[in-house]
Structure 1
Amino acid sequence: MDAVHLLATTLGLGFAAGLRLYSTVLGLGLAIRFGFLRLPETLHGLEVLAHPAVLIAAGVAFAAEFVGDKIPWVDSVWDSVHTIIRPIGAVVLAATAFADLDPVVRLVLVILCGGVALSSHATKAATRLAVNHSPEPFSNVALSLMGDAAAPFMVWLTTSHPMIALVLVLGFLVMFAWLARRIWRLLRGGFERLRRWSMA
């Protein structure tokens, strides 16, 4: 796998994990276990995702996230907790995937994967915070279903068409850089309101 494909895989997995960590792990694990995904030698470390214990843990967490993400404000509480968990999960995923690479290269890829995961998570969380102020529940559920579809689609795209995934993620990162100040301001205000609400 050349450097560009490694970068595409790193950014694609980071983006998917930032949206839905558990469905990313579960989807990869199931695809590997049932032979839908043949890993290149460079990524053979991901075979651990097909272990039954990993699949069960990811499946339970995925089910909890699937339900909670459909409930206004519960989704934002979940996102606030996962502001740490999703990027760290992406870092662990990248470290596992690239375990056999040169340590310097692996460290660079791990940092990139975690950074992209934080960016996609922040964008997703800020969008859901904004939508939660709407009195109707349908837009919240629609966005949640879009997220449910986007993560496995991104995993598939990353493993099947890495160059397309790379272009999409780079486009997202440009947009994120442009909107970063607004996203962080919205997140900070929303999480502060959640904190006051939980203490009331």
Structure 2
Amino acid sequence: MENLLNICLGIGLSAACGFRVFIPLLVVSIASLAGHLALSPGFQWIGTYPAFIVLATASILEIAVYYIPWVDNLMDSIAGPTAVVAGILVAASSIIHMDPLLKWSLAIIAGGGTAAIFHGSTSLVRGASTALTGGIGNHAVATVELGIAAGLSILAVALPFLSIVIVVVLLLFLMRKGFRKLVKSKRTEGVSP
């Protein structure tokens, strides 16, 4: 049961990494420092004061950059691979008692994959916002992303099972939107002369 709880925690945090790279790591650091979260061997450094200071600084900078029009789109291209690595890192750090091969397989596939899916979807939303509003609407997008990253990170630490339910619901929503867009594009292709 503890492994399942840790996997839910890791996937919830990984999903949050798709919205903001450093916020979930900062939440993990705070939770570990407060004694509310045990970290996997080799990842205890996340729960140290130097790591907390670095992650807090990185979080503040990341938040600020996403409020600068056009720079936020540049940040998205940098944050893509970084979000995947952060997703793998938070997933691996939360899985404590598991065979290393299984742990890293889960961290890479579920953690990195979940972060990639959510980061990709937010990049598409930001790109559409930039195209439609010239970047002015990106402030609203950045605020929503920040709220989701912080809320999902805190929820993953406090209630991991609920966080995984929310992640699954969000994934199903994204799949439904993607499927509808695909069907619509296929219909449009069939109508063209």
Bin of the TM-score, shorter chain as denominator length: 0.7 to 0.9
Q: What TM-score, normalized to structure 2? A: 0.81
**Which amino acid in structure 1 is aligned with residue 95 of structure 2?**
F
**Within 2, Cα distance between the matches of 1:150 and 1:24?**
11
Cα offsets for 1:65-91 (capped at 9, x unmatched): 111101222111101111111101211
**Within 1, Cα distance between the matches of 2:3 and 2:30?**
27
Q: Does 1:119 align with 2:99?
A: no
| 1:22-171 mapped onto 2 (5 Å cutoff) | 22-33=22-33, 35=34, 38-40=36-38, 43-45=39-41, 47-98=44-95, 100-110=97-107, 111-135=109-133, 138-171=136-169
Counterpart contact for 1:13–1:90, Cα < 8 Å: yes
**Within 2, Cα distance between the matches of 1:18 and 1:151?**
8
**Within 1, Cα distance between the matches of 2:146 and 2:127?**
17
When the two structures are aligned, how many residues end up with a matched partner?
179
Cα offsets for 1:38-63 (capped at 9, x unmatched): 125xx454542221222222222212
RMSD of aligned C-alpha atoms? 2.3
- Judging changes above 3 Å, is the alpha-carbon distance between structure 1 residues 32 and 3 closer, same or farther for their aligned structure 2 residues? closer
Shift of residue 3 of structure 1? 4.5
Shift of residue 118 of structure 1? 0.3
Q: Which runs of 5+ in 2 are unaligned?
A: 183-193
Counterpart contact for 1:16–1:150, Cα < 8 Å: yes
Q: Give the percent of matched residue pairs that are identical in Structure 1 and Structure 2.
A: 22
Q: Which runs of 5+ in 1 are unaligned?
A: 184-200
Match of 2:14 in 1: 14
Where 1:39 maps in the other structure, the secondary structure is coil
